[in-house]
Amino acid sequence: MSNMFEIENLRIAFNTKRGELNAVRGVTLSIAKGESVGIVGESGSGKTVMSRASMGLLRGRRVKREGSVKLNGIELLTMTAKEIRELWGKQIAMVFQDPMTALNPVRRVGPQMAEALVKRMGMSKDAANARVLELLALVRLPEPEKQVVKYPHQLSGGMRQRVMIAMAIACEPEILFADEPTTALDVTVQAQVLELMGDLRQRLGMAMVIITHDLGVVATHTDKIAVMYGGEVVEIAPTKELFANMRHPYTEALMKSIPRLDRAPGERMPAIAGTPPDPVAERVGCAFAPRCAYATDKCHTEHPELTDAGNGHAYRCFFPLGAK
C-alpha cells in the first residue's frame, strides 16, 4: 500500500547573516491515510520548519529546499504558491503554533471564520454562518452562538485552540499538521483537545501530525512517533514500541523530562543537561554526542546513519540502549 503522504530526505536551510542555517537535515517520514504521527523534540530541533515546509510553505528567496514531499504521489515542493493555495484547507491544513497570530484580534470570531469559508469554499454568507456553528459544535465549543460574537482575546486558551482546529478541519483535509496544539493549555484542557483531535481523526478519516516538545502529549492518540534532534529524526517507532523499547539516549532523556502530575507544584522537571547543537556550525559526529552520557570518540567523529531495527523502528545511534 502506498502512503498518502511521503516526506523524503527533506532538507531546509536558511541563508542567515551567520551563514547557512541547516534547520532540517534529511528527514524521511511516511504517513498513511488516517494515521496519527507525533513529532517530538526540544525547541529548535526543526519541528516547525519541517512541518511548514511539508505543507508547501517557506518559499522565500532565503530558503533552500531539497528532497521531496508528496501528497498522493504529487510533489508539493515544486508547486507554485498558487497551486499550493488550491490544496490548502482542502487537502492539507495546519493548526499553527500560536493561535493569537492566526486569528485576527480585532474581528469577532464568527465573522472571521465565516469570511474564510466564503473565500476558501465559495460558500454563501448564510451557508458559511451556519457551517461555523456546526464546526464549533463539532469541536465541542460550549454554546457556540454565544462565542461567535466574541473577540479572540475574550476566549480562553482552550477555546481559541478549538476555534483554530475548527478552521483547520472546515474543509475536511486529508492531513492535518497541529504545531504544539496544547502547549499553552493546562493539563485537563490539553487532554480534552487531544481527545477531540483523536475523535475528529476517526470521524473524518484524516491523517494527523501532532508536533510537541513533550513526549507525554503524544504517548496516547498516536500510532507512531518520530523524535527529532538537531534537524534530524534520531528515532522513529510505533508508539507502544517506542515506550517499551527506546533505543536512542536522547529519547530516554526526553522521557525523563516528561512533566508529571505527581511532581510538587513549582518543582522543576529535570531539563536535559547541555545545549542543543548550533544549526549553523558544521556537523561532524552525532548531533547529540556532546550531551550524551554514553558517547565515545566514534560518536564525536562519525555521523550515525539510521539503523533499521524492523517493525517500523529505526534509530540513529552507534551504541543504542538495550544492546546486548
Ligand X SMILES: Nc1ncnc2c1ncn2[C@@H]1O[C@H](COP(=O)(O)OP(=O)(O)OP(=O)(O)O)[C@@H](O)[C@H]1O
The C-alpha cell at 305 is: 546513519
161 binds, among ligand X, Mg ion, none (CB under 5 to 8 A by kind): none
Q: Give the H or E element holding residue 204.
A: helix 187-204
Residue 214 vs 241, nearer CB to ligand X = 214
Give the shortest CB-44-to-ligand X separation in angstroms. Answer: 4
Residue 47 vs 248, nearer CB to Mg ion = 47
Whether the CB-CB separation of 276 and 43 falls below 8 Å is answered with: yes
* Candidate list 25, 27, 41, 148; residue touching ligand X; CB under 6 A: 41
Segments in 25-156 forming alpha helices (H): 47-54, 81-87, 99-102, 109-121, 125-138, 144-147
Question: What is the total count of residues that contact ligand X (CB under 6 A)?
Answer: 15
Footprint of Mg ion (CB under 5 A): 47-48
Return d(Cα 294, Cα 307) in angstroms, integer.
18
* Candidate list 47, 224, 247, 316; residue touching ligand X; CB under 6 A: 47
Residue 179 vs 241, nearer CB to ligand X = 179
DSSP of 192-245 = HHHHHHHHHHHHHT-EEEEEES-GGGGSSS-SEEEEEETTEEEEEEEHHHHHHS
Give the shortest CB-75-to-ligand X separation in angstroms. Answer: 22
Give the shortest CB-47-to-Mg ion separation in angstroms. Answer: 5
99 contributes a contact to ligand X by CB under 6 A: no
Looking at the DSSP bridge assignments, the partners of residue 6 are: 30, 70
Binding site for ligand X (CB under 6 A): 14, 16, 21, 23, 41, 43-49, 97, 213, 279
